[in-house]
Amino acid sequence: MGSSARKKKEKKKDFQKAKLKVGKTKAKPDNFTDTSFKAKSIVVNQQSLTTSAPSSSSQFAHYLSLASSSRSDTQRRDALSYLTTQLSSAPVNRPLPLPTSILLPKLLPLILDGSSSVRAQLLKFLRLLPVSDIGDRAESALLYTRAGMTHLAAEIRVDALAILEWLLEVAKEDVVSCPGGWVKTLKSFMSMMGWASSSGSSKWTSTSKASFGKAGKAFPRQLLILAQFLKAGLVESEEIREVKIGGMFPLVDVEKHMIPTRSNAFAHLNLFGSSRDEEGEMYIDREDRQRVFQKLFQPAVEAGMANAKKEAGEAGRAAAVLAKVLKEGMADYSDVNDTQ
């Protein structure tokens, strides 16, 4: 409480309104800070002084780095779309401005990108890459794809499936036989679809509160791609079967004694790397894959498949496709087991 007229006056002062006058500039507020400054010269930091436009290859590299490391979503997407048009508009037999071995490691992390438009654009770009180059880099691509498949965000999971689909299209054999490609990918499928079970869980069933596995609309699609993946891993391709059946009769398993056509033929021996466990191992033979699948995943897959069949509708149909693939793939497994 102010005890005197003077104090009252002092208090009033705070709430007085400034009078505006015609023809004069408005009074500056109390807390006005003068931010003007004087400079003798202005230096432009990034001024390009070249007369010629940058070459297309350097521009390509620039956009590549933008796409891989820019902070803004739109910039990444635009850079990617620039790269896509560059590739698609180029004549068919002209080599890539940069080799795939440089492009892929830079762009693969974008599978986990937060923006959906970037991921869609990335898939478009990847489809333009030469098919023959992908096979050798399937392992690193799968690393990111798996991370995408188990990602928290549902959209990223869906898009990662699209990437896997593309990988299966272009490098089927490599995807299932590269180190970790079979077991680890199947594991991420299991956790994505909610079919995984904790190794330490008790026998009590608890109603899962997990929101992760229930993918809703995406579920049939997941089933279909799992079917594709299993088909690639478990079902013998047509040519091999032909060879086997038709075969030059006295010669058995000829292709196994030929000079291998694939690169790094002895990679599965893992002569130089650190030792791998069951998950990270390479499963080159179909029989190996069948064995591991049967041991680790078949019960879970069949249980999940049965549930999905009951759902009917789209999911049921997809489950039927899966069942067919499974039957086909595992048909000759038991007799293989007998002969051993």
Partner 1 sequence: MGKKRVGALEKVDADLPNLQYKIRRDPKSYSEDFLNQYGQYQSQRDIFLASPTTATSTGIVSFRDLIDFVAHVADCFPSDTTSFPSDLKTILTLHHASLESELREKIVGSLVLLRRKEIIDSAELLNTLFPILVATPSKTLRTLLFQKILSDLRTSNAKSVNHRLNKTIQTALFNLLTSDRASAKGIWAVKITRELWKRQIWTDSKAVEIMKEAALADNEKVIGGGVRFFLGGDKEREELEDDSSDEEAGIDIGKLKHQAGINKKSRKTKKSLEEAVKKVKKTEKKKNQPHPLNFSALHLLHDPQGFAETLFSKHLQNSKSKLNLEQKLLVLQLVSRLVGLHKLTVISLYSYFIKYLTPRQPSVTTFLACLAQATHSLVPPDALEPLVQKIANEFVSEASASEVASAGLNAIREICVRQPLAMNDTLLQDLVMYRKSKDKGTMMAAKGLLSLYREVGADLLKKRDRGKTATMGIKSGSIKERRFGEEEVGGIEGLELLEEWKAEERKRKRAEKGLPELGTDEEDDEDSDEEEQRGWENWDAESDASSDSGGWINVESDAEIEISDSEDEKPAAKKVKFDTTATKSEPETPAANEEDEKENADKDQALEQKISKLATTKILTPADLAKLQELRLQASVSKITGKNSKSHNQRLKELADRHADDPLTAEQIEGLSMLRKSTREEKIALAREGKGERGEHKSTQALRRQKKDAEGKSTTNKEKARKKNFMMTLGKAKFKQKRSLTQTRRVLKGHIERSKRGGKRGNVGM
Residues binding partner 1 (CB under 8 A): 3-4, 105, 109, 112-114, 140, 143-144, 146-147, 150-154, 156, 180, 184, 187-188, 191-192, 194, 196, 198-201, 204, 206-214
Shortest Å distance, C-beta 123 to partner 1:
17
Shortest Å distance, C-beta 3 to partner 1:
5
Q: Which residue has the tokens 């508009």?
A: 89
Nearer to partner 1, 74 or 85 (CB): 74
Alpha-carbon distances, residue 245 vs 133, 255, 321 (angstroms): 31, 13, 26
Shortest Å distance, C-beta 45 to partner 1:
25
> In this structure, what token pair is assigned to residue 165?
């689909």
Distance CA 234, CA 324 (A): 12
Nearer to partner 1, 121 or 188 (CB): 188
Q: Which residues, other chains included, contact 31 with Cβ-Cβ below 8 Å and sequence gap of 6+?
A: none
To the nearest 10 degrees (0 to 180), the angle between helices 313-330 and 298-311 is 150
Nearer to partner 1, 73 or 302 (CB): 73
Distance CA 62, CA 40 (A): 34
> In this structure, what token pair is assigned to residue 111?
């599978």
Q: If DSSP codes are grouped into helix, strand and coil, which group holds residue 51?
A: coil
Shortest Å distance, C-beta 75 to partner 1:
14
Nearer to partner 1, 87 or 190 (CB): 190
Shortest Å distance, C-beta 279 to partner 1:
9
Nearer to partner 1, 141 or 234 (CB): 141
Alpha-carbon distances, residue 234 vs 35, 237, 254, 284, 298 (angstroms): 72, 9, 21, 11, 12
Shortest Å distance, C-beta 227 to partner 1:
21
231 by Cβ neighbours in 10 Å (0-12 / 13-18 / 19+) ranks as: buried
Distance CA 44, CA 34 (A): 24
Nearer to partner 1, 76 or 231 (CB): 76
